[in-house]
Structure 1
Amino acid sequence: MSETHTIIEELKSFATEEKRLFLPYFFKTGKGQYGEGDVFLGVTVPYTRKVAKAHKDTSMDTISGLLASEYHEARLCALLIMVRMFAKGDEETRQRVFDFYLGNTARINNWDLVDLSAPYIVGKYLLDKPRDILYELSESNLLWDNRIAIVSTLAFIRNNDLDDTYALAQKLMTHKHDLIHKATGWMLREAGKRDPRILYDFIDSRHTTIPRTMLRYAIEKFSQEERKYLMRKE
């Protein structure tokens, strides 16, 4: 029995019928929805983390097998192992994980998979490197590439490095999907915690063009009076 199969069987042991029925609804797997066709075992994130931790020293072949799985939780488990591998690895290992991650973004195909991995692999790898790849991802036709681009900047924000968050937000303002608007608004809000004035000025000068969902997420931490002013439509 391969380790990939073993890990999937371990994940199945933590599955519940209640979650198996609920998660496809929560992650929008219906026809035409962003998660169309995704398959869930019914395992919650804490249990997926538990399995990932138990197999933290697995091989890249096993990770590749998990990431190729039809099961959402298997792909998440692969990503959580990669996050740990990246955090504990030397520079060669970190580059290998980073390259593998970007070579498999089509399998990182739901918002939780992106959000639990991109800042900790892509963002951290690029902390001291050029960020051109994020701008390429922001222009990709793949929704998840676009989300990886903006969510990766959380690592920069935590390092008080805000420029790329605002630059990517500017690019993504014309995006058509609410998932990107939400993620971009989230990152803007996080950047605003570091310097509220920069965020306020960014929003104020674009308040008529910024998507409403992005705007609402971005200004959540402002006062009611400030939010009302920034939401004005004239």
Structure 2
Amino acid sequence: MASAATAGTVVAELEAEVSPEALASVRKRLAPDEEALGVRMGTLFAIAKRHTRLPLSEVQQLLAHPAYEPRLAALCILDFKARRKRIDGHGRGTLARTYLGHHDRITTWDMVDRAAPRVIGLWLVGRDKQILRDLALSPEPLRRRTAMTAPLGFLDTDDVEIGWELAAQLATDRDPLVHKPVGIFAKHAGERDRDRLVAFLEEHVEGMPRPAVRLAVEKLPPDLRSRWV
């Protein structure tokens, strides 16, 4: 069923699920002038998962849609594709280039968070990470968020150090779209290497926004956490 579907199929399924209540909830996370349909997130994820095999040309059509939900569905589909066990390096590269080539269509933090760890992060395992360094220098906060969120895909690999490098680079970023992912990465990476997290905090905590610090120490035992919050 999904393999014969089109972007129009996905949009029609989303439009069949709109409600005023969902629209009111969705509008809270969007810019005032951004279009939205009004679909519950659980429903949107289920629709996207049904269409994991949607051709990438159709995913790109969803990314071109003016409304929030079709574009989020496109990022969800990219994420579901990246989770497939049989995907190879070429396939991962194609997904990543679709994401990066349409970054201007990513307009909310949840679009980044949904796809960046697997679509970008898993693609870069064992590869050069310069693209993340370049994104971290972008004037656009959502591109910097991609740079900081993609390393969540490295947590179980030997590539995790690039995440700490980027966290150090972005530790003093004042934009919540960026400094919160710094804290989130530090929290999860710190679960695997507490000493590394402690060293990171000792070096950077004074310049970090407080929300980032609170996120970073969330999993630490109370005696350590109380040193910083």
TM-score by length of 2: 0.90
CA contact (8 A) 1:220 1:227 kept: yes
Are 2:75 and 1:79 aligned?
A: yes
Inter-partner Cα distance in structure 1 for 2:52 and 2:30 = 30
Inter-partner Cα distance in structure 2 for 1:94 and 1:142 = 24
Map 1:1-234 to 2 at 5 A: 3-25=6-28, 27-30=29-32, 37-88=33-84, 89-159=87-157, 161-231=159-229
SS in 1 for 2:204: coil
Q: Return the offset for 1:139.
A: 0.4
Q: Deviations over 1:140-176 (max 9, x none)?
A: 1111110011110001113364311111011112322
SS in 1 for 2:173: coil
Q: Which runs of 5+ in 1 are unaligned?
A: 31-36
Inter-partner Cα distance in structure 2 for 1:22 and 1:154 = 27
CA contact (8 A) 1:49 1:80 kept: yes
**Aligned-residue CA RMSD (Å):** 1.7
CA contact (8 A) 2:44 2:73 kept: yes
Q: Deviations over 1:22-81 (max 9, x none)?
A: 2111x1423xxxxxx322222122212222232222222211110011221101111122
Q: Aligned residues: percent identity?
A: 29
Q: Which runs of 5+ in 2 are unaligned?
A: none
Inter-partner Cα distance in structure 1 for 2:159 and 2:140 = 26
Q: Deviations over 1:117-151 (max 9, x none)?
A: 00011000001101110000000111111001111
Structure that is richer in helix per residue: 2
Greater shift, 64-73 or 115-124, is seen at: 64-73
Inter-partner Cα distance in structure 1 for 2:53 and 2:227 = 52
Count how many residue pairs are aligned between Structure 1 and Structure 2: 223
CA contact (8 A) 2:163 2:185 kept: yes
Q: Deviations over 1:5-31 (max 9, x none)?
A: 221110111222101012111x1423x
